[in-house]
Structure 1
Amino acid sequence: MEETASAPGRGRSGRTAIIVIALVAALVAAGLGTWFALSRPAGTSRADVVRLDKHRVIVDNSMNLYDPLVQQFSGRYSNAISEKAGQAEEEKVLSQDRERIVRESQANRDRLEDMADSPALQDQELAQAFNRFKDQYSAVIAYNDQLVINTSNIYRSVGGPCAALHSSLNVASESYAQDYVKSADECLAALGTAKEGADAETTILLTDVETVIRGQRDKQQEVLNSKDALERLSKSTLAGVALLDINDAFAKAQTTYEAATKDKYSKIIESANSSNSEFEGVLKKSLEQFDAASGEGK
């Protein structure tokens, strides 16, 4: 009897233990789900996070459109200037191609502003990651906007009035010194105008070119100021020797500019990519939390 009486008791004890363990597990699961739910601001849904992530991908992919747009603008505008198509054609190319880039930039800014209104950003971690993403991608947009200004300013000056100095003038002409001074003054005026709105790196390039042109211009002015034929010959010879070094000076300025702009662009892109990876990771984490809370992650 004792054995038969004790058997059901042990059975009840075992069932009780199982029930308690199951109850604890259920409470823990419910508690975790409650913690995920309570830790997330009211009004935030999984759909908001999914939508925000889709917009992130769109903004990231749209950055790839800048390179072909800028290259098209650069090529068409350079041809219009070098072929002396005339100011009307130059302005047409500038207006059409630049407008495409301006529209793309505005579309990207609008996308970032739309993302900033997402209810998902009530989550502090998501908001912090997004703010960095927005700052870095805004920097990419601003860089490309500035690139259009830099490119057009360089072509209008270095590729415009300044190009004639060492391509169109006849060195053997009696009026070479006079022609050079006149063209140099036009070039220097164009370089001065080109600095307006240019960034620091482009301003340095234009200043370097300006220094070379001004130095050569002053030497040709000395030829014009000569008091006699002998002095004129001497000054002309010195100016001619100095002219031989002008290509090296231009090449140095160009190399310095290319290195500086490449470094600047690389840092901007690196920061943007880093912020994108961080933002993507935080979004993924948020989605995993939603799935865990709803049981979808099991």
Structure 2
Amino acid sequence: HNVTVLENVAYNTNGHSFLLRDGKEWNNKIELNLAAKNRNPGGDDAGFLIRSLRNVIVGNVVAGAVDRGFSFPIEGSVKEPSRSGLPGGNPSPRKDIGGSILNNVAHGCHGYAFILSRWLITSDTSVPLKGFRLYRNLGTGAYIRGYYVKFHDAFFADNRVKSVDLSYCDNCQLKNVDIVGDTALIQDEYKAHGTWHQCIGDPEYSSSFRYVGVEMFAWNDHETKYDELGQRFEDVRFSGFTNSSCAHAKAVAFEKKRRMPHYDLLTTMSGVVNLDDGDFPVDFCTASEVMEVEDVVFN
């Protein structure tokens, strides 16, 4: 507890570069550190792996990770041996409302730039994750799984599979977010190398589209029966999808390979803007095909 990790560089490490392992490490400050080119001998290794959000994680950078940039696999309980003898019993990091996660950057990661999984807050009291800059990653920018996750003031660009994957994400919010499919710089690079409209994409998908800005996989937890909103988009700006380097890119799409028997949470969008000239490439047809959605209403 109460440790400051400030202005360090971890370069070319085997495995995780910075690690809070057990979920018990609370009220620490991890600020202005760099994890560069960490290797992945064990699988799923990250520049920063942190199992509890009850910390201050500010201004850190991951560059060129072989697998993951920032990984937050939130634990249901504190891992052994740290949980033995904890005062007040064994707390659940998944129920913490979070600390200060602010202005972190990941680029050049071969897998996921950011993963947050199983943060199961049961009310709209979670602390927003703010100011992430996730760009030029060969995989996905942010994979988010949990309840009441708030992703604010973020920037995504040139991520080759997805910018944001809202997977099993109930009552999650994107607010004041910029999502760029292709920047002008990356378009010029692809044209110069003769790879225009040759998508990397995700092999899980059919050839109908290859990468997306936001993919939604919404669901309803029938044990808790939340009556509140599903995904919430507020002031989200899309660009670089209408005329992108991938012929079938989509700014917003639904998961195609998984069938959802109960899609009964409302997704709301306010202040969503397409900054490109031309049509806004949004795939609501998939929602109809996969999840039997019958009505889409724009206000």
Q: TM-score range by the shorter chain?
A: under 0.3
Greater strand share, 1 or 2? 2
The normalised TM-score by structure 2 is: 0.23
Q: Which has the larger radius of gyration?
A: 1
Q: If each structure's helix is expressed as a fraction of its own residues, which one has the higher value?
A: 1
